[in-house]
Structure 1
Amino acid sequence: MLEVKNLYREYGSGETRVTALNDVSITIDEGEFVAIMGSSGSGKSTLMNILGCLDTPTKGEYFLSKQSIQDMCDEDLSKIRNQRIGFIFQTFHLLTRLTALENVTLPLRYSDISPEQAKQKGLAMLAKVGLDHRAGHKPNEMSGGQRQRVAIARALVNEPKVIFADEPTGNLDSKTSHEIMSLLCDLHAQGHTIVMVTHEEDIAEYSKRIIRMKDGVKIEDSVQ
């Protein structure tokens, strides 16, 4: 499903040039649950940003479902991000003025379904994460774990091919973190492809495969 070949990402030029990714090649198959690990500056977030079509490589190739990505225009990349990719962020990225349901249905504004269909689909996604009873509440009326569940429901609403989770438990306490990871495991069991960035070993243990990065280089790729 995801394949990068000889990927490089450089920032700056001349003496200030920094190589964030250095000749990285990875293949992730449909239905996998992969954790990308590494310390700050290892390149793990840069790799996820490229895989999630939020950034483009300096050099190398990227194929999503066998479709070449790197030469696409911004409009085409936006469509891919909206229709084929779901994002879960450490800081939730919810709009504070909107209810949980309104946040979840936000990606559907760019589709051709009716407002009523969007509402029903949003409620179904909230039910899937156990929060349909909080549909009318705003983010400041919910706990961190509930807000992350809303973010997961939003990531699922367009039925994406792959879910990218960037430090999904980074702002949560230990108990809530493991509840969120159990939910991600349930989604994986239902057939979702999940790619997660984390620096926490106990969180990475929930995945089925760990890719370790250091100084922009892939140093380990192991199945567990």
Structure 2
Amino acid sequence: MIRVENLCRTYGAGETQVIALDNVSLHIKEGEFVAVMGASGSGKSTLMNILGCLDTPTSGNYLLSDESIKEVHDESLSAIRNKKIGFIFQTFHLLTRLSAQENVALPLRYTDMPKQQASDRAMAMLDKVGLQNRAHHKPFEMSGGQRQRVAIARALVNNPQVIFADEPTGNLDSKTSHEIMELLCSLHQQGHTLVMVTHEEDIAAYAKRVIRMKDGVVIEDSGC
């Protein structure tokens, strides 16, 4: 599913150059649930951004489903993000003026799916995360946990090949955090590939494989 070879990412030049990733190589198989851990500045968010096609490496290669991302131009990267990748963010990134159903259907606007079919699919995804009865509520009318469930439904709506979760419980209390993680575990059991960035040990424990990073380098990989 994911193959990274000698991945490097630097910012700046000369004395101000920062090495965010330093020759990172790893493979993630289809159906895995992987947590990427590390302190601030470890490179985990940079790695996530490259894997999610939100950034490009300075050198090295990244293959997603055997397709090299290195030479892909911006327009094609957008298409890859929309068709192959689902995102879950710490701050939800829901549009406040839209209902839950409309937020979930948003990625489908960039496909040729008919509007009614898109609406029906969004409702099905809300049902999958247990929020069908909140479909017409707006984000400010929902709790943090409910908003994250909406975000998870949106990540699923295009049936992506892989879901990237960036600190998915960072804005939630402990009880709600574990409810969200139970939902992610359920998705993994259904066959979804999940890659999650977190700095919390108890959250990482839900994953089947943990990759630890420090100073832009993988220092431990429980899958090896």
In the superposition, the TM-score normalised over structure 1's length comes to 0.99
Sequence identity percentage:
74
Paired position in structure 1 for 2:98:
98
* Aligned amino acid, residue 212 of structure 2: R
> How many angstroms apart in 1 are the aligned matches of 2:206 and 2:121?
28
Paired position in structure 2 for 1:72:
72
Long gaps (5+) in structure 1: none
Paired position in structure 2 for 1:185:
185
Deviations 1:26-80 (A, max 9, x none): 1000000000000000000000000000000000000001110010000100000
Q: Secondary structure of 2:95's match?
A: coil
Deviations 1:75-105 (A, max 9, x none): 1000000010000000000001100000000
RMSD: 0.8
> How many angstroms apart in 2 are the aligned matches of 1:105 and 1:211?
33
> How many angstroms apart in 2 are the aligned matches of 1:23 and 1:151?
32
Long gaps (5+) in structure 2: none
User: Does the alignment pair 1:127 with 2:127?
Assistant: yes
> How many angstroms apart in 2 are the aligned matches of 1:164 and 1:110?
20
Paired position in structure 1 for 2:218:
218
> How many angstroms apart in 2 are the aligned matches of 1:198 and 1:185?
15
User: Does the alignment pair 1:175 with 2:165?
Assistant: no
Q: Secondary structure of 2:56's match?
A: coil
Q: How does 1:133-144 map to 2 (within 5 A)?
A: 133-144=133-144
* Aligned amino acid, residue 76 of structure 1: S
* Aligned amino acid, residue 104 of structure 1: V
Q: Tell me the number of residue pairs that the alignment of Structure 1 and Structure 2 aligns.
A: 224
In the superposition, the TM-score normalised over structure 2's length comes to 0.99
Q: CA deviation at 1:223?
A: 3.8
Q: CA deviation at 1:113?
A: 1.2
- Please identify runs of 4+ aligned residues in structure 1 that moved more than 6 A: none
